[in-house]
Structure 1
């Protein structure tokens, strides 16, 4: 019965294309979702032949891909998939440009991700162990057809739980991601919180070498992420591994090391967020490197600082260096001044929505 229904739907879709234009001239949406036996995907949209009041049946194809096409002459359209034309997908409308073929990996239900923990994760680079705290986005268990971008985040113990945070205040990264995904402001991502090395934190997060604090372990930490953490995540989770889908985020020294590693590895990381970064380190040596650069590195940068003893002068100098290298505010650069914000977890938590939506805005994932 179900097969005959889908065959009839496919025949109707084919007839519709004959009326509206050839397949080569069609705009197509492909919804990747297993609705289970006897159920169907429909599409509602903003322009005829679609409507917001009644859904149009998509055609099932092998691999649980539901396809619907219409003529390019309809123009750009906003659409949303539904299950059985009753349950709307979570998040914002999908924007479909005329002539495009767009793959959609929706989910239906609450925007609530899940946490997984990998304890005693070994770092051969440092000869120690730590915990990886992994946020899996809402659809991870609901849509096994989907793969996800990955955000690697430093100071993992401060991100998701006040009980493990160094100063008892967390970033609320999971709650913020859930909210942004649910409202359709942000794409779903896997977030990998990497615990710092405790007493070794300054060493791990810094290039060589500050006259007062020493440091110098950032190159080892870079190898720890690229040679140990990232391969483990890619092997054990459904990730999208290209640079366009891979980012870094951190604050303070974590911001410094995000900037340092991301800029050195533009084939691995396409974007990064550096909050309240310690650009003062070693007489602003990292900023001096950017100022002396003769080529522009293909990485998108988010940098910010608060106005209350938060290194705003040094961050502004780094902004100016990036602009001089050709980066453009609002495109491959986002510079933000957080009025009244200080150098603490509560300030970073309060504005976390800004870098998250810059790094992974809705419908930006490259499949």
Structure 2
């Protein structure tokens, strides 16, 4: 205990702050990869107001991998936390199973579009266990296809909830709230497209953007524990849902910092969106994920968009992730098979900005 106290007051100290209410009579301990921590016996963290448990050690220990425990017996769920020397890191652990929950809000009214739809929510595993925590948010289109085969357009769901449960439990991604926005049935093409394709028309994407920003996001932020800033707000969709994700993300980088499109319909209106990127001289502060399969899935158009983003300065593996899905077609099952890739890219473990 004396050693821990001395280390906690070191002039040049690395610090971890564990946000968790363990209840009366319990404690948080830490085990880790470098002295004064070890993986065999935990060191007691110090409780501070707000149920924040703090522990510090000299920077000379270097980078440390660690994990919190309750009473030095019950390990936190998920991956180890990497704490860089000289930093102060806030962590929000949970200790139960890595199983999120789902909710939905029916008949959500859109004054911008004059219709209603269902909003479907995935709440991450710690949502009810650790009320001190707030979460990044992923807004996804075609919400009826994400979680339940019974509501999916072709009877095939993306398994987003099961995929996130696995990725969170194995420490590959941060916990995230997913907001699935159902499409408007016959109005889907109109709502998901900028103006205007010679064959299909369209042109409602700007109104859909207003619906998302003026109605959906304020509702979500008012009713769920979200991290509201752009650093923790993302868009994802497939096909026309990928197209509208790119459209909104590029128009509103003040709201979103991450955009993912699976098999995006970049063919729309003679590839007008790609042409706009090619003509742009400004690199937007966005991270992009885009992919396409090799079976009639718009690979050539997606590759052209990748090239346009690269010409603007986006770098593969940094703020650009381009994937060719070998053998994949334009199907819900293909997107379900690879949705773990954009989820991991958009919300990597310890990537959340608190």
The aligned counterpart of 1:321 is: 308
Preserved CA contact (<8 Å) 2:4 2:43: no
Shift of 1:163: 0.1
2:123 paired residue number: 136
Provide the secondary structure at the position in 1 that maps to 2:4.
helix
Q: Is the 8 A contact 1:13 1:59 kept in 2?
A: no
Structure 1: unaligned runs, 5 residues or longer: 1-8
1:182-201, CA deviations, whole angstroms, 9 ceiling, x for partnerless residues?
00000000000000000000
In structure 2, distance between residues paired with 1:16 and 1:322 = 48
Matches within 5 A, 1:310-349: 310-349=297-336
The aligned runs of 1:225-244 (5 Å cut-off) are 225-244=212-231
Query: Which of 7, 12, 17 is the aligned partner of 1:30?
Result: 17
Aligned with 1:222 (options 197, 204, 209):
209
Out of 51, 66, 69, the position equivalent to 2:38 is: 51
* Shift in Å, 1:39: 0.5
Does 1:15 find its partner at 2:6?
yes
Shift of 1:17: 3.9
Rounded Cα–Cα distance in structure 1 between residues aligned with 2:170 and 2:246: 29
**Could you list the per-position Cα deviations for residues 95-121 of structure 1 after superposition, in whole angstroms to 9, with x for gaps in the alignment?**
000000000000002100000110100
Residues 226-268 of structure 1, C-alpha deviations (whole Å, 9 max, x = no match):
1100000000000001111000000000000001100110010
Match in the other structure for 2:148: 161
Which residue does the alignment assign to 2:273? 286
Structure 2 SS opposite 1:321: helix
Aligned-partner SS, 2:297:
coil
1:245-303 superposed Cα distances (whole Å, 9 cap, x missing partner): 00000000000000110011001000010000000000000000000001111110000
Determine the C-alpha separation between the residues in 1 that align with 2:250 and 2:8: 47
Which residue of the other structure, out of 308, 331, 337, is the alignment partner of 1:350? Answer: 337
1:1-367 to structure 2, matched below 5 A, reads 13-17=4-8, 21-22=10-11, 25-367=12-354
CA RMSD of aligned residues (A): 0.9
Q: Is the 8 A contact 2:242 2:265 kept in 1?
A: yes
SS of the residue 1:30 aligns to: strand
SS of the residue 2:316 aligns to? coil
**What CA distance in whole angstroms lies between the structure 1 residues aligned with 2:236 and 2:7?**
47
2-structure distance, mates of 1:248, 1:261: 9
Q: Are the counterparts in 2 of residues 161 and 172 from structure 1 also a CA contact under 8 Å?
A: yes
Asked whether the equivalents of residues 26 and 71 of structure 1 are also in contact (C-alpha less than 8 Å), the reply is yes
SS at match of 2:310: helix
Structure 2: 5+ residue runs without aligned partners?
Answer: none
For the 8 Å contact 1:54–1:85, the answer to whether it is kept is: yes
Distance, in Å, in 1 between the alignment partners of 2:274 and 2:266 is: 7
Which secondary structure does the structure 2 equivalent of 1:121 belong to? strand
